[in-house]
A and B are shown apart, each in its own frame.
Chain A
Amino acid sequence: MLNPETISFEALGFRAGLEVHHQIKSTRKLFCHCKPNLRRDSPDYLFERKFRPVLGEMGDFDEGMLIEYEKGYRVIYHAYTEQVCLYEQDEQPPFWPDMEAIYSGYELAQWLNCSALVDVGIVARKQYLDGSITTGFQRTMIVARDGWVEVNNKKIRISNLTVEEDAARKIKTENSGRTVYYNLDRLGIPLVEVITDHRDCTNVTDLRKLAEIIGLTLRISGIGMTGIGSVRQDVNISIQKGDRVEIKGVQDLSQFENMTRREAVRQDMLIKIAQMLRERKLTKAELEHTYYDITEEFTSGLIPEGLSVMAIRIPKFAGILGLEIQPGKDFGQDVFEKASLISGILTQHMFHSDELSNDAQRRKLSSLPFFMPLMHESLDKNIRKLLNLSNRDAYCIALGKNTWIIHALKKIIERLKYALDGVPQETRRLLPDGNSEFLRVIHGKDRLYPDTDTPALELDLRKIESFKGKVGKRPWDLEQEFQQKYNLSFSHLQSLVHENRLEDFLILVNNYNQKPTIIYSFLVETLKSLRRKGVNTSHIGVKEIMEILQQAALNKLSVYDLVQEKYHHKQEVYF
Chain B
Amino acid sequence: MNAAEKKRDPTGYKGDLRERLIREKIGVWSIVRLERGHSIYEGVVLPRSEHTAEDYLVIKVDTGYNIGVKITQECKITEIGFQKGDYHLPQIAVKTRKELPNISLLGTGGTVASRLDYRTGSVLPAFTPEELFSAVPELMNICNLSPKKIYSILSENFKPEYWVKTAEAILDEFHNGAVGVIVGHGTDTMAFTASALSFFFKQLAAPIVIVGSQRSSDRPSSDGPMNIINASTIAGYADLAEVVVCMHGNTSDTYNLIHRGTRVRKMHSSRRDAFKTISDIPLGMIDSKRNITFFKNDVKHRNNIQDTYLDTKIDPKVAILNSYPGCNPDILNSIIDIGYHGVVILGTGLGHVPSDFFPALERAQEEEIPVCIVVDPLFGFTNLRVYETGRDMLALGVIEGANMLPSAAYAKMIWSLGHTRNIKEVKEILTTNIAGEITDREVNSGYLVLQGIEENIGKITNTLDPKPREHYWGEQVEKSEK
Contact = CB atoms under 8 A, between A and B. Distances in A.
Q: Which of B52, B65, B123, B253 has the most CB of A within 10 A?
A: B65
A65 B123 CA distance: 22
Contacts of A5: none
Interface stretch (B161-169, B219-227, B316-324): B219-227
A93 B269 CA distance: 10
B87 A55 contact: yes
Contact of B64 (A86, A179, A444, A452): A444
Interface in A84-120: 86, 89-93, 115-116, 118-120
A449 B116 contact: yes
Interface string A119-140: 1111010111100001111001
Given A55-B89, A119-B70, A456-B52, A45 B116 contact: no
Contacts of B41: 116, 145
A305 interface: no
Interface string A20-47: 0000000000000000000000011111
A244 interface: no
A172 interface: no
A54 B218 contact: yes
Contacts of A115: 37-39
Contact of B67 (A45, A122, A128, A444): A122
A134 B51 CA distance: 28
Contacts of B252: 47-49
Interface stretch (B99-107, B236-244, B259-267, B459-467): B459-467
A455 B121 contact: yes
B195 to A, nearest CB: 26
Interface stretch (B342-350, B352-360, B436-444, B471-479): B471-479
A141 B123 CA distance: 20
Q: Which of B51, B88, B252, B272 has the most CB of A within 10 A?
A: B252
Report the contact-size class of chain A (Cβ under 8 Å from the partner). 35 or more
Contacts, number: 170
Contact of A50 (B37, B69, B226): B226
A369 interface: no
B303 interface: no
B254 interface: yes
Given A52-B220, A120-B53, A452-B123, A445 B64 contact: yes
A122 B68 contact: yes
Contacts of A86: 270-271
B10 to A, nearest CB: 17
A59 B53 contact: no
A116 B67 CA distance: 11
Interface stretch (B55-63, B176-184, B362-370): B55-63
B62 A445 contact: yes
B66 interface: yes
A3 to B, nearest CB: 37
B271 A61 contact: no
B270 to A, nearest CB: 4
B251 A47 contact: yes
Contacts of B386: none
Given A43-B462, A122-B58, A450 B66 contact: yes
B15 interface: no
A86 B268 CA distance: 11
A119 B41 CA distance: 13
A93 B468 CA distance: 28
A380 B62 CA distance: 50
A371 interface: no
A178 interface: yes
A458 interface: yes
A126 to B, nearest CB: 8
Interface string A468-481: 00000000000000
B189 interface: no
A483 to B, nearest CB: 31
Contact of A160 (B63, B219, B271, B468): B63
* In the A-B complex, the 8 residue pairs with the closest CB atoms: A136-B220, A445-B64, A120-B68, A448-B64, A45-B461, A116-B39, A58-B85, A136-B221
Interface of A: 43-55, 57-59, 61, 65, 69-70, 72, 74, 76, 86, 89-93, 115-116, 118-122, 124, 126-129, 134-137, 140-142, 145-146, 160, 162, 175, 178-179, 403, 444-450, 452, 455-456, 458
Given A57-B87, A455-B51, 8 more contacts: A46-B464, A47-B252, A48-B253, A48-B468, A58-B87, A116-B38, A142-B63, A146-B39
